[in-house]
Amino acid sequence: MSLKSSFAGAAAAALVLAAPAATAFASNPGHGQSGTHGNHGKSHSHFTANGKVTAVDGDSFTFHAKGGSKDLHGTDVTVTVTDATKMRRDGAKATVADLQVGDRVNVTGSRGDDGSLTARHVNAHSPAADDSTDATDGTDTSTTDTSGTGTGV
C-alpha cells in the first residue's frame, strides 16, 4: 500500500467521523446553545412597553403602548400585576390601585404561553408630576431677588 493511498483513506475516515458533528452544528443555529438560552431556560419571553394608562381594573391595568417591544406598539395592552410585581408611582412604592387613568407607565415583564402579559416592574408618573416641573401655566409664584439683598424680594 502506498503512502498516497494511506493518506487518502485516513482523510476519508476523518470526514465520515466528522459528519455527525457538522450536521449537529448546522441544525442548531445557536452555535451549540439551546434555543431557550435567551430566556435562561424558561419557556416564556419578556416584554417592555410604555404609554398612558387607559383603565385600571382589580389586579390589572390597560394602557396604550407607544414604545417598547415592537409587536405592542400602537396597541392597547392589558398587564396583570402580581404580589411579586415591583411598582412605583411618582417615585414612591405603589400598588395597582394607586394607578390613575392618564398616568404614564414604563412596564417590563413576561409573556405567558397564552399571550398574557405579567408585569415584573411598573414605573408610573402622574400627569401632575409631569406638570410640576413645567411652569408654563402662569402659576409660578416664586420670587426673584433683584435687590441684591438676598431677601428674595
pLDDT level of residue 143 (50, 70, 90 thresholds) = very low
Among 17-31, 63-77, 136-150, top mean pLDDT goes to: 63-77
Q: What's the pLDDT at 129?
A: 72
With CA atoms as reference, report the closest residue to 81 among 66, 67, 98: 98
Domains and CATH numbers, the chain: 43-131 (2.40.50.320)
Q: For 20-44, write each residue's pLDDT tens digit.
A: 544 444 444 444 444 444 444 444 5
Give mean pLDDT, residues 70-82.
96
The rounded mean pLDDT for the chain is: 75
Distance CA 30, CA 83 (A): 35
pLDDT level of residue 132 (50, 70, 90 thresholds) = low
Is the pLDDT at 113 greater than 70? The verdict is: yes
Q: Where are the alpha helices (DSSP H) in 98-142?
A: 127-131
User: Which amino acid, 41?
Assistant: G
pLDDT level of residue 128 (50, 70, 90 thresholds) = confident
| Three-class SS state of 83 | coil
